[in-house]
Amino acid sequence: MPDAQPHSPILRLALPSPLRRLFDYRAPTGVPRGALQPGVRLRVPFGRREVVGVLVELSDHSEVPADKLKAALELLDQRPPLPASLFKLCLWTAQYYQHSLGDTLSWALPVLLRQGEPAEARQERFWHAAPDVRLDDPRLARAPRQKQALQTLAQHPHGVAHQLLGKLQINKDSLDLLLEKGLVRVEVRRHRPAEHHGGWLAQPELPLNAEQRAAAEAVHAGFGRFGAYLLAGVTGSGKTEVYLQLIRQTLEAGKQALVLIPEINLGPQTLERFARRFNARIALLHSNVNDRERLDAWLAARDGEADIVIGTRSALFTPLKHPGLIIVDEEHDASYKQQEGLRYHARDLALVRARQEDVPILLGSATPSLESLQNAYAGRYALLKLTQRAGGARQPRFLRLDVKSRPLDSGISGPMQQAIGQTLEAGQQVLVFLNRRGFAPTLLCHDCGWISQCPRCDARMTVHQRSGELRCHHCGHAQRPPSNCPDCGKVDLRPIGAGTERAEERLRILFPEYPVLRIDRDSTSRKGAMDQLFGTIQRGHPCILVGTQMLAKGHHFPRVTLVAILDADGGLFSADFRASERMAQLIVQVAGRAGRAEEPGKVIIQTHLADHPLLVQLTEQGYFAFAEQALSERRAAGLPPFTHLALLRAEAHKPGQAEGFLDEACTEADRLLAELQLGSIELLGPVPAPMERRAGRYRAQLLLQGNARAPLHRLMNAWLPILEHLPGGRAVRWSLDVDPIDLF
């Protein structure tokens, strides 16, 4: 049957829906075909809601019967808001992570664009004095405030932006009255951030040392085309200085720089350093930026009106008019991987983007991920090393302290206590690292063995003494601790093990003359608390800092000369194959915060596994020796980066439902493997998740492991559309994690 409306094309839209398909609509009435360019947004009816979709393609044909096909309501853009290059990146992302394109665009676009806000730089109101106004106008005789406002406007022949009225002490009500009288006029025009003029540097650069210079020159030589560089520089070796000088060269070449940093590093310290150095327009994109500011920054970057874009994970999706250089700082940081919805890895996507846009990318870290190191060893990235601390400080010394059969006193052994005492007496600071918040990881009844199990998870609740609670760190459940054992009624309930609260309490008793400062999520949640703590530390008096991995990032503590690591064993025992890598990165990062030229640091690691080969490598030969050892273990075990993983997770309210769904999924995968003749892929599972019940749901998982990416993706491309329709999936929440970074 011929199409009823041969001239009206079918619009195929990506909508914010988890379904991995496009949705067909008719064009809104009265919109000419020429206005329907791929990439423009349209408002459409979707179920009982209205949503904003992105036009992907036009078609002359739809599977949907003509009488069921709905019309789009409104065309929102005259031109596509998203440049083609970024649209291409989103397509790639959706395909690689096996995610719906519509939902991928939702993660990638600023929230206001998803809601239909115009994608043009903000129009701003400017106030002008009307031509030929006179300050002695009789209508102003008894209106001194209006007269003053008019006088101020008259001094600004180009008008005053509405935003600046407050700064100039102009009263808005007075302006409205003046407007009624025709004495002022308003003009709406585009707000333009100040154009760049003069030199790019607001502050002189430091002369680079030989290693820094070699690194910067290598990257500079690669400007103008794709190339990946791994800057492996010990903490304090001046990686940031290398970034800054490369950014200056990028600006001089008339290009923009995109800098990604981990969430936690986006403190004022880092930002100030960039802002102080450059006389340039910097766009910031991080979680504390409001929606309007985010859109403005995004538009400024897209339109070439921001020179430097700095942001956390999702800033990766900021369009750039003249891309010149991408930098990923602390590239090993786990916060680059999004753990919900679209499970992308911003570092990995940054590489894809650099290749697509044909620009160099610089990954920096003191403790590069094993993935990136392997890429460097395989010749895919150029490895640039900075081995010396820039300020002349020496590297800390590492000691393993065997605590087998030594009593631990709130987690602190006798020799560790002595070392802490000696350091304090010498007038120096101590950093005690324990990656466990709260007072104790569990509460135990000494009479019957009852433990404080979370009612919603297969996990123990942590004792938080300060807040007088038992708290589950997995689902957030909190309750008052019982005064008697819920099972046997006796009162001998004891906290077992030590968290930061307990270590803090014990250290206060052991060293009463010295301040003990705890730095973890609980102690720094109050606004300004962190700054206050750091202020105290910077003053330099002897004190003890106790904290979690928050201590590993961003800050430097030059007066710390002893780093006490209370527990390294978790990283060596864990079932998670990445645990040892994370432990090594944490130890090295924490250690790197300490010491300066005159007072080299010492790092003491308490462990029951003092002879563990990974720990021996790390402490005696350093991170790279550790990494080589760990890589050879991964290779032998067939683990990433030598194989590729995808994890299908499922959870449901009733036991067995998640596994039921995964069983069906597994059968389908087996069938496809045979049909597509894909050899080298293994299906591992389904198995219950390591923590089977979490927040009241039962969880299970199925792991796919392949020697190469391509066959794994061929399987997933065929598999996912089937999974969407499996009957077992109805009662189940499931998600696919391509390149998972943890297997929980």
Q: Which residues are annotated as a binding site?
A: 445, 448, 454, 457, 472, 475, 485, 488
Residue 703: contacted member of Zn ion, ligand ADP, none (CB under 5 to 8 Å, by partner type) = none
- At residue 189, φ and ψ (nearest 5 deg) are -145, 170
* # of chain residues touching Zn ion (CB under 5 A): 14
Residue 137 binds what, of ligand ADP, Zn ion, none (CB under 5 to 8 Å, by partner type)?
A: none
Q: Which two tokens stand for residue 732?
A: 């189940």
233 binds ligand ADP (CB under 6 A): yes
Return the residue of 13, 184, 247, 475 that touches Zn ion, per CB under 5 A. 475
Q: Which member of 3, 120, 487, 670 binds Zn ion (CB under 5 A)?
A: 487
Comparing C-alpha atoms, which of 610, 614, 633 is closest to residue 623? 614
**Only segment of 28-36, 479-487, 587-595, 599-607 that touches Zn ion (CB under 5 A):** 479-487
Stretch that binds ligand ADP, among 230-238, 349-357, 494-502, 658-666 (CB under 6 A): 230-238
**Beta carbon nearer to Zn ion, 79 or 490:** 490
Report whether 497 contacts 411 (CB < 8 A).
Answer: yes
Cβ distance to ligand ADP smaller for residue 250 or 657:
250
- Part of the chain binding ligand ADP (CB under 6 A), chosen from 47-55, 109-117, 235-243, 342-350: 235-243
Contact map string, positions 341 to 380, toward ligand ADP, x by CB under 6 A: ----------------------------------------
CB of 455: closest distance to Zn ion in angstroms?
Answer: 7
**What character string, x for contact with ligand ADP (CB under 6 A) and - otherwise, covers 636-665?**
------------------------------
Q: How far is the CB of 259 from ligand ADP (least distance, A)?
A: 12
Binder of residue 741, out of Zn ion, ligand ADP, none (CB less than 5 to 8 A by kind): none
Q: How many CB atoms lie within 10 A of CB 549?
A: 18
Q: Show Cβ contacts of residue 274 under 8 Å, excluding neighbours closer than 6 positions.
A: 244, 247, 259, 282, 308, 310
Q: Is residue 472 close enough to count as binding Zn ion by CB under 5 A?
A: yes
- DSSP-derived secondary structure letter, 412: B
Q: Which residue in this structure is represented by tokens 């009225």?
A: 165
What CA–CA distances, in Å, run from 477 to 223, 439, 454, 470, 632? Answer: 52, 16, 7, 8, 41
Q: Is 558 in the site for ligand ADP (CB under 6 A)?
A: no
Among 165, 445, 666, 703, binds Zn ion (CB under 5 A): 445
Annotate 304-370 with three-state secondary structure: CCCCEEEECHHHHHCCCCCEEEEEECCCCCHHHECCCCCCCEHHHHHHHHHHHHCCEEEEEECCCCH
Q: Which is nearer to ligand ADP, 391 or 540 (CB)?
A: 391
Tokens matching residue 391: 């300020």
Distance of CA 413 to the CA centre of its chain: 36
Contacts with 210 (C-beta within 8 Å, 6 or more apart), sequence order: none
Q: How far is the CB of 584 from ligand ADP (least distance, A)?
A: 18
Neighbours of 608 (CB within 10 A): 15
Distance of CA 225 to the CA centre of its chain: 27
Task: Pick out residues in 170-229 that bind ligand ADP (CB under 6 A).
Answer: 206-209, 212
Answer with the entry of ligand ADP, Zn ion, none that 391 interacts with (C-beta below 5 to 8 A by kind). Answer: ligand ADP
Which does residue 434 touch among ligand ADP, Zn ion, none (CB within 5 to 8 A, set by kind)?
Answer: none
Q: Per-residue DSSP letters for 197-228?
A: -S-SBSSPPPPP-HHHHHHHHHHHHTTTS-EE
487 vs 531, which CB is nearer to Zn ion?
487
Q: Which is nearer to ligand ADP, 164 or 208 (CB)?
A: 208
First-to-last CA distance in the chain? 53
Nearest CA-CA partner of 466 in 486, 437, 444, 442: 437
Give the nearest distance from C-beta 31 to ligand ADP in angstroms: 52
> Residues annotated as binding site for Zn(2+)?
445, 448, 454, 457, 472, 475, 485, 488
Contact range with ligand ADP by CB under 6 A, out of 233-241, 442-450, 503-511, 607-615: 233-241
Rounded Cα distance, 583 and 539, in Å: 30
CA quadruple 462, 464, 469, 471: dihedral positive or negative? Answer: negative
- 236 touches, from ligand ADP, Zn ion, none (C-beta below 5 to 8 Å by class): ligand ADP
DSSP state of 430: E
Minimum CB separation from ligand ADP for residue 215, in Å? 11
For residue 7, give the 3-state DSSP assignment: coil
Query: Does 548 contact ligand ADP by CB under 6 A?
Result: no
Q: Does position 385 bind ligand ADP by CB under 6 A?
A: no
Per CB under 5 A, the list member of 255, 347, 477, 506 interacting with Zn ion is: 477
Q: Cβ distance 85 to 356 under 8 Å?
A: yes
- Helix (H/G/I), strand (E/B), else coil: 455: coil
Q: How far is the CB of 697 from Zn ion (least distance, A)?
A: 11
- How far CA 14 is from CA of 29, 38, 461, in Å, comes to 20, 11, 43
CA atoms within 13 A on the CB side of 122: 18
Give whole-number Cα distances, 575 to 282, 497, 605, 607, in Å. 43, 20, 21, 18
Contact region with Zn ion (CB under 5 A), list: 306-314, 343-351, 396-404, 439-447: 439-447
For Zn ion, the closer CB: 205 or 487: 487
Tokens found for residue 547: 């904290």
Find the binder of ligand ADP among 62, 237, 256, 375 (CB under 6 A). Answer: 237
Please, what is the minimum distance in Å from the beta carbon of residue 237 to ligand ADP?
4
| Smallest distance from ligand ADP to CB 207, Å | 6
Give, as ranges, the residues between 300 and 319 that touch ligand ADP (CB under 6 A). none
| CB nearer ligand ADP, residue 2 or residue 204 | 204
Are 251 and 412 spatial neighbours (Cβ–Cβ below 8 Å)? no
Q: Are 479 and 470 in contact (CB under 8 A)?
A: yes
Strand partners, 444: 451, 494
Closest residue to ligand ADP using C-beta atoms:
238
Stretch that binds ligand ADP, among 125-133, 238-246, 398-406, 668-676 (CB under 6 A): 238-246
Name the residues that contact ligand ADP, by CB under 6 A. 206-209, 212, 233, 235-241, 390-391
Name the residues that contact Zn ion, by CB under 5 A. 445, 447-448, 450, 454, 456-457, 472, 474-475, 477, 485, 487-488
